[in-house]
Amino acid sequence: MNAADAYERFVRPALFCLNPETAHHLAVGGLRAASRLPFALRALESFQPPARPKTLFGLHFPNPIGLAAGFDKNGVALPALAALGFGFVEIGTVTAKAQRGNPRPRIFRYPQQEALINRLGFNNHGAEAVAARLGSLRRSGRWPRIPVGINIGKSKITPIEEAPDDYLFSFRLLGEFADYLVLNVSSPNTPGLRTLQEHDALEQLLQVIHQENQITRKPVLLKIAPDLSLSELEQLIETCEKNDIDGIIATNTTLDHRAISGSLDQAGGLSGRPLQERSTEFVRAITARSRLPVIAAGGIFDAASAREKLEAGAQLLQVYTGYVYRGPGLLQEIARGLYL
């Protein structure tokens, strides 16, 4: 029995018996413990996919399949996630101030649709605590040998007009640990956050980060919503190019819940299979209008859906909900199937 079969027959049913957030904390906690145990890391390496090297942003990726932000919000399990075979890992979203996020329940499974809805609200330990943890990891000699991205967002209590300074605080603290940084302006679960995608607000934010980045010189990406209109997307691309953004992550979760029946619907961002087509459309639209590299996220569950993103123009891939449903075998399936 291969890893994918074992996960889907035994591990996933056990996890899906638990509350979604409890299952998530159990998974992250297990990987956190494994990160400190050499024998556990060696065991996890059995899941590693074949190498499919890729160079982008001046960084070397052993394969193009990364873990999206949202799984390891606080950077507690990087060694184990690298051992599992991800080509890169993005931690966060990290905010300047520690915050609990929205009230529970705030994660909902839809197995029939292979989807999740979450309204977590950037629950994380805050930039100072995460920076301290990453510094300790680096000094320990256990820092992973894959690119590490850090996704930053606005603290909920920070007024929207003060957002640039809020992002700047996190950028300064976390920049030294990041191979690339992501400005998350597209989560639907922080009130007003998506207004930062509008031209004037985005221009102000990107100018502040660009000025600071003259010192750090790290690749900076923007993570966008799949709910933008085509004209809004075109204006956003123009603003990114004008302010030397290095790439776009397409996309975050969607507020389009048509895939979920009304009685079961919940507030929050929808991810998984129902997002696949829309996110691919965004990848195709961006690459048709710009040379900005795109990291594709949304509805990647197998080699076919991964290949779809690459054929649309994506340079790299990120999984999250697909990994929840398919488990460690997903990476091997994608890597082996991409170039058949």
**Helix intervals (H) in 142-299:** 163-174, 199-216, 230-242, 276-289
How many CA atoms are closer than 13 Å to the CA of 200, on its beta-carbon side?
A: 2
Rg value, the chain, Cα: 18
3-state secondary structure of 94: strand
46 in catalytic set? no
| Beta-carbon contacts of residue 50 (< 8 Å; ≥ 6 apart) | 63, 332, 335, 336
How far is the C-alpha of 164 from the C-alpha of 108, rounded, in Å? 32
User: Do 243 and 292 touch, CB atoms closer than 8 A?
Assistant: no
Q: Which candidate in 170, 187, 279, 305 is catalytic? A: 187
How many CA atoms are closer than 13 Å to the CA of 337, on its beta-carbon side?
A: 17
| Beta-carbon contacts of residue 247 (< 8 Å; ≥ 6 apart) | 56, 57, 219, 221, 222, 292, 293, 294, 295, 315
**Residue type (1 letter), 46:** S
Catalytic residues: 187
